[in-house]
Amino acid sequence: MGAKLFCWPQGSPGIAMMLRALLLTGLLSWANGQEGQAMLPEEKSKIRDQIVEMFDHAYGSYMKYAYPADELMPLSCRGRVRGLEPNRGDIDDSLGKFSLTLIDTLDTLVVLNKLDEFEDAVRRTLRDVRLDNDVVVSVFETNIRVLGGLLGAHTMADMLRQRGKRMQWYRDELLHMAKELGNRLLPAFNTTSGLPYPRVNLRYGVLNPLSRTGTESDTCTACAGTMILEFAALSRLSGEAVFEENARKALDVLWEKRQRGSDLVGTVINIHNGDWVRRDSGVGAGIDSYYEYLMKAYVLLGDNVYLERFNTHYRAIMKYISQPPLLLNVHMHNPTVSVRSWMDSLLAFFPGLQVLRGDLKPAIETHEMLYQVTKQHKFLPEAFTTEFRVHWGQHPLRPEFAESTYYLYKATGDPYYLRVGQSIVEKLNAHARVPCGFAAVQDVRTGAHEDRMDSFFLAEMFKYLYLLFSEKNQLHFDIDDYIFTTEAHLLPVSLSTSQPPCRGNNTEDLFTYSCPSTQTLFPNNPSFAKTIRDSYKYLTGVGRAFHEVHKGVYRVKLVAEVTQTTEEEEVEPLLVQLISPPFLGRTVLTAGPAKFGMDLTKQEHGTSPYTACGPIENAEDLSGHIALALRGDCMFAAKAHRLQEAGAIGVIFIDHREGSNSAETPLFQMVGDGGSTADITIPLVFLFSQEGALLTSALEDHSNVDVLMLPKERRLGKTTGKRGGLCRAHGLVILLPTGDQGSTNASIILFSHLPSSKLSKGETAQKPNRHFNVEL
């Protein structure tokens, strides 16, 4: 069957067609061929109703307890008024005493079919909101939230008015407010470079003696590069070109200041001379929406320059920053070097942007990685390491992961993404809902709440979730006629004023001027998205492996730490059973197996614990003993190789993720690092954190602890006809990691076989024939 690709034409009817092809119709035709049962319409409707109820709870709480304040404090059940609450630093720069949450939510009301509430909210906005307050605000936040909110609401009000049933009284008042706000933001662009100041006083501008701003010299790349959609829309709706001209000039400066060798940009730039202040480059915080707006400016405005710039940057991102499924910051001048080993949650928007470009494979990979992080921590931490450890524990109810989930579902029709969306809904209700709205999570590790509910939660989260579970005929307008801003406000693609000839698809870069087509992306394989995901479905972290390229020259390779266990495959649990007094077999810990090393279900052998990602300095002491190893810092196989070479005869790994346990977390099989594991012959098992804590606690309290490692059916005291291997160790003691001050050694004794009869209290264990070193 021939593949049909839709061209990316520039102009209002073509752009609308492009969005339809891209986000809805082009790929949904093969949804029925997806593996797994599709979600029934009744279930989708039930979840959609649940999302509406959640929105009503959040919006209703804001209107009841906070309005006309900018934001709701959901734990205090009152509004956050700037100057009356303790200063939170830069976070408060989004608050301008202009009923921020109300304006940010206006077009969400229309999407959720709350037209009476929308009309009432517009009247409130016109009656109550002032834009001339003596307040210093963020130019970036005010642009995307307030100016974008006013323009999105005007677009919806104008659409309803033209239909002749609602908003007949409306006379473009929201557009007039948007124009007023645009004029109040324009003084920020009075710099020698054209890059805007990061802050402006709504009443006094920037350089006025009363403005209390204008001394800043730096701004983030996203702050300067995320103006074009709102400012261009304002220009084209109002007929005043000054807004679009200033926003475009700022983009021109950023483009000219890119590093020509790598085509990357830095994170922070000097607004006066254009010098880079921070040269780390990524797709997350500080840069994210700059790339987004280059792509969407092409879609909205039809200017080919934006697409060419985006594609140049995108090739650089995929060459240097993308290390599937990770997106790691690099130095813009030396992009082969990662500058940090953690990622921030704002990069979760990027798979959605990749869908817009038609590059679905890396979008699926990164989204699946992010989903696995949410499974471990309930929400995306504000920052997390390549091993999925929490770097910054906050979660301010960010919507970027839901955004990418929506785009991937619209691009693939795969019901898997409906299940991902369902999990978002359930976790919000279970872990963020409070009596007066929804509260941000202060730390995903503890679940503690923070007294904030940012306006973007209502502007974006509920919009994307509702659309995810809605069919086109359930909406009151054609969503494909609009493009989302970075705050999910709706701007009409009919704003495009140019329509150059459409380029064909016979280009070297298939996706440069074309929408994605399933026939091209997934030829003869409608389940291709699933085949991509399956490689990352049980991703638990990413470590570093060192591969020798030439003698003495090593290349760092990021290696995914996955279970490689399919959903249908059941993992047979192993056990670690404490049998010495006072436990006498009553303490049994569930352990997961490894796909390499000795098979405990078939042979007899022994083990113990240790952490081993660096050189093992006490190899002589370790030889012939079991090691206790904390998970993390390097791959399981690397640890096993290192410990086996040092002479260990077994390893018990303990999860480093605090609170993990076998009751709530599915068991998985440890796998290798991509290299050969055939030479690993010692037995290996894995304990989650809580089970590991029981073992280490026992070691702290009792100098001699006998341990059995064996299949479940061979549990001491349980008689079966099956035979299998087991491992017994004696004298377990907790030690500190090698090289730490205060490190001590202790012996473990491994028995080659079980005693003929079960031990009873007071009996002496059989004399051991091996000793082990244990280290934690």
Active-site residue, from 400, 480, 655, 691: 400
Active-site residue, from 104, 107, 141, 480: 141
Q: How far is it, in rounded angstroms, from Cα 490 to Cα 217?
A: 32
Q: Count Cβ atoms below 10 Å from residue 600 Cβ, excluding itself.
A: 28
Whether 382 is catalytic is yes
Secondary structure of 367-433 in HEC code, one letter for each residue: HHHHHHHHHHHCCCCCEEECCCCEEECCECCCCHHHHHHHHHHHHHCCCHHHHHHHHHHHHHHHHCE
The identity of residue 288, as a single letter, is D
Classify each residue of 35-57 as buried b or exposed e, where b means 16 or more C-beta atoms within 10 Å of its C-beta: eeeebeeeebeebbebbbebbeb
Give the three-state DSSP class for 771.
coil
End-to-end CA distance of the chain: 59
486 among annotated binding-site residues: yes
Tokens of 333: 């001048």
Whether 471 is catalytic is no
Whether 275 is catalytic is no
Q: How far is it, in rounded angstroms, from Cα 339 to Cα 344?
A: 13
Q: How far is it, in rounded angstroms, from Cα 654 to Cα 544?
A: 19
C-beta of residue 230 within 8 angstroms of C-beta of residue 146? no
Burial class (CB in 10 A: 0-12, 13-18, 19+), 209: exposed
Judge if the upstream peptide bond of residue 68 is cis by omega within 30 degrees of 0.
Answer: yes
Q: Count Cβ atoms below 10 Å from residue 279 Cβ, excluding itself.
A: 18
C-beta of residue 726 within 8 angstroms of C-beta of residue 755? no
Which residues on adjacent β-strands are paired with residue 632? 634
Give the E-state strand segments of 283-381 in sequence order. Answer: 322-323, 326-327, 330-331, 334-338, 342-344
Whether 604 is catalytic is no
Give the three-state DSSP class for 775.
coil
C-beta of residue 448 within 8 angstroms of C-beta of residue 85? no
Q: How far is it, in rounded angstroms, from Cα 604 to Cα 161?
A: 79
Q: What is the DSSP letter of 235?
A: H
Give the three-state DSSP class for 256.
helix
C-beta of residue 720 within 8 angstroms of C-beta of residue 686? no
Classify each residue of 329-368 as buried b or exposed e, where b means 16 or more C-beta atoms within 10 Å of its C-beta: bbbbeebeebbebbbbbbbbbbbbbbbbbbbbebbbbbbb
Q: How far is it, in rounded angstroms, from Cα 26 to Cα 21?
A: 4
Secondary structure of 469-498 in HEC code, one letter for each residue: CCCHHHCCCCHHHEEECCCCCEEEHHHCCC
What are the Cα distances from residue 397, in Å, to 61, 382, 442, 444, 459?
16, 10, 10, 11, 12
What are the Cα distances from residue 48, in Å, to 41, 55, 467?
10, 11, 9
Secondary structure of 148-215 in HEC code, one letter for each residue: HHHHHHHHHHHHHHHCCCCCCCCCCHHHHHHHHHHHHHHHHHCCCCCCCCCEEECCCECCCCCCCCCC
Active-site residue, from 288, 368, 387, 691: 288
What are the Cα distances from residue 373, in Å, to 44, 335, 445, 654?
25, 26, 12, 19
In degrees, rounded to 5, the angle at the alpha carbon of residue 17 between the alpha carbons of residues 11 and 18 is: 85
For the annotated catalytic residues, the residue numbers are: 141, 288, 382, 400
Residues annotated in a binding site: 486
Residues annotated in a binding site for Ca(2+): 486
